[in-house]
Amino acid sequence: MRSDIIKKGVTRASQRSLLKATGLSNKDLEKPLIGVVNSFNEVNPGHIGLNELAQEVKLGVASAGGVAMEFPTIAICDGIAMGHHGMHYPLASREIIADSIEAMAEGHQLDALVLITNCDKITPGMMMAAARLDIPSILIAGGPMYAGIHKGKQTDGSKLYEAAGAVSAGKMSEEELDQLEKAAAPGCGACGLLGTANSMNCMSEILGMSLPWNSTIPAYLAERKALARRTGETIMELLENEITPRKILTKEAFENAIMVDMAIGGSSNTVLHLVAIAHEAGVELKIEEFDEISKIVPKLCSFSPGGEYHMQDLYNVGGLQVVIKEVAKLERFHKNQLTVTGKSIWDNVEDAKEPDGEVVRTIERPYYNEGGIAILKGNLAEDGAVVKQSAVSEEMFVHEGSAKVFDQEEIAVDAILNGKIVPGDIVVIRYEGPKGGPGMREMLTPTSAIAGAGLDKSVALITDGRFSGATRGAAIGHVSPEAAEGGTITTFSSSAIHCTLNPNVSEITLTGTKVRPFSIKGATSVSTLFP
């Protein structure tokens, strides 16, 4: 066992003494030491229920012959950090999470890890650590929050950002806003829409790093406790069979993940996170591959914020396994990929239900003929840009208007809320990239303010920042090179730029490119293509 280096031999008397000081016995020191990483805190609603899961995980570890050793990591709530100075920190916290887990696991020579997660940067940060360490590891999520009910319909937190725009536009009273606040987030769990949190929990399942049902059992249900206990038992099986993350996180596993991501219409942030996890696993994953796969995988689901369904609805019709089984019909899907069950991804889903036809549609009758995300590239974004194309209204596939340029998110939001943005405009927010932000802040506040003001079908937004998974509308982010790196986005001038979104402007298509054109023509116009 890896932990023998701190437990065995006369030179390790001091280490054994310190371990015994935590309550371990000589018999315990003969067993594997399993790190249980618990991102519980009392700030983040997605994590406030994780202590109960940690207890179940530890019971599972103990019942299978291991010694569970719990330690924490941080977990910022993106929703609380949104729209102010605090948003500089969430993306950077992903690296802190990965580094802190590495430090604890290496410093104490732990034999294996159970990673208890739930939200936006925590899930990818934990998978990055697992891939980097390459010791037996498994994830268990806290589960999605139930949708709230407002005026007889399901609702969620994304509607509150749009409501702020509606209040500013005089379309909603502050009293109604208060009622919506009370309804939108009814209890613990990852926000019930398909934002980054639930998208990445889905990615952990399709990548093979968590057990089936991990991404969809609601946080409230006892079934999730049983899954946590089984997760604790499974880490011991992974240790015994020497199954480590890099045996699971292959190039083929990432291709499967992108396919399922496109089918569910996941967050645009999955591009950032899957590429980072792949890097830690030693797998080369290029953003162009997202676009390539998007062209061959139809969108089978329509979750909030772009659609009407929530994660509880996916749970009720059979879980993510239904989507995976349907996507597995496509020739490119790799059925034999290993997972933490010790079986292939196909073995895990072969007995899943068939699509119900609405929450999950069939490949023959999709919501959209392509995947949820498109990669844009051209002389405005030489290194690429990302759009959640499935959340763009058809009215915006061809759009023309004047650019209004802002060098900070807050200034843009003020302009939107005070009626300075009108139908036909294209809002440009720059100097919000990884370096320029710093921290590549999410732009949910401006996109939601646009939607709440009723402008999402007449106003586009372009930024070198990024978007929340809750974003909808013609929102183009991740523009690279970013403004702080001298990217072309710095050439915008509010008084001079005329912007065009037009899929039929063939003269600006880059010769030989395999991604959708996204370009400036001359120095006075910008064009992008939606399929």
Count CA atoms closer than 13 A to 153's CA, side-chain side.
9
- Which of 166-175, 277-286, 293-302 is predicted with the least confidence, judged by mean pLDDT? 166-175
Asked whether the predicted pLDDT for residue 430 surpasses 60, the reply is yes
> Alpha-carbon distance 427 to 474, whole Å?
10
3-state SS track over 435-461: CCCCCCCECHHHHHHHHHCCCCCCCEE
Is residue 450 within 8 A of residue 471, CB to CB? The reply is: no
Q: What is the pLDDT of residue 313?
A: 97
**Could you tell me the sign of the dihedral formed by the alpha carbons of 442, 440, 133, 23, in that order?**
negative
Rounded Cα distance between 91 and 93, Å, is 5
According to the model, what pLDDT value does residue 454 have? 85
pLDDT score recorded for residue 505: 33
With pLDDT > 70 as the criterion, what percentage of the chain qualifies? 91
Inter-CA distances, 60 with 39, 51, 54, 77, 315, Å: 18, 14, 10, 28, 24
User: pLDDT tens across 23-48, in order?
Assistant: 999 999 999 999 999 999 999 999 99
Residue 183's pLDDT band (cuts 50, 70, 90): very high
Please write the tens of the pLDDT for every residue from 108-164. Answer: 999 999 999 999 999 999 999 999 999 999 999 999 999 999 888 998 887 887 787
Separation between Cα atoms, residue 121 and residue 254, nearest integer Å? 18
Mean pLDDT, residues 483-508 taken together: 56
pLDDT for 531 beyond 60: no
Confidence of residue 98 (pLDDT cuts 50, 70, 90): very high
* Cβ atoms 505, 476 nearer than 8 A: no
Q: What is the pLDDT of residue 473?
A: 78
- Binned at pLDDT 50, 70 and 90, residue 167 comes out as confident
So what's the pLDDT on residue 211?
Answer: 98
Average pLDDT of the segment spanning 466-486: 84
With bands split at pLDDT 50, 70 and 90, how would you rate the model's confidence at 469?
low
The pLDDT of residue 282 is above 90: yes
Mean pLDDT of the chain: 88
What distance in Å separates the CA atoms of residue 398 and residue 49, rounded to the nearest whole number? Answer: 45
Per-residue pLDDT averaged across 333-360, rounded?
98
Give the range with max mean pLDDT: 114-118, 476-480, 492-496.
Answer: 114-118
pLDDT of residue 54 exceeding 90: yes
pLDDT for 374 equals 83
**pLDDT bracket for residue 470 (50, 70, 90):** low
> 374 or 285: whose pLDDT is higher?
285
Q: pTM for this one? A: 0.89
Q: 415 to each of 425, 426, 497, how far by Cα in Å?
A: 12, 13, 18
**pLDDT class of 499 with cuts at 50, 70, 90:** very low
Rounded to the nearest angstrom, the gap between the alpha carbon of residue 52 and the centroid of all alpha carbons in its chain is: 24
pLDDT at position 441 over 50: yes
Q: Which bin fits 109, alpha (ψ -120 to 50), beta or left (φ > 0)? A: left
SS3 content of the chain, % helix, strand, coil (to 5): 40, 15, 45
User: pLDDT grade, residue 399 (50/70/90)?
Assistant: low
pLDDT over threshold 80, residue 330: yes
If phi > 0 it is left, if psi is from -120 to 50 it is alpha, else beta; for residue 468 that is beta
Question: For 449-463, what is each residue's pLDDT tens digit?
Answer: 888 788 888 888 889
Q: Which of 204, 468, 519, 527 is catalytic?
A: 468
Cis preceding linkage at 438, omega within 30: yes
Residue 468: predicted pLDDT = 73
212 HSE (CA, 13 A, CB side): 20
Task: Please say if 304 is a catalytic residue.
Answer: no
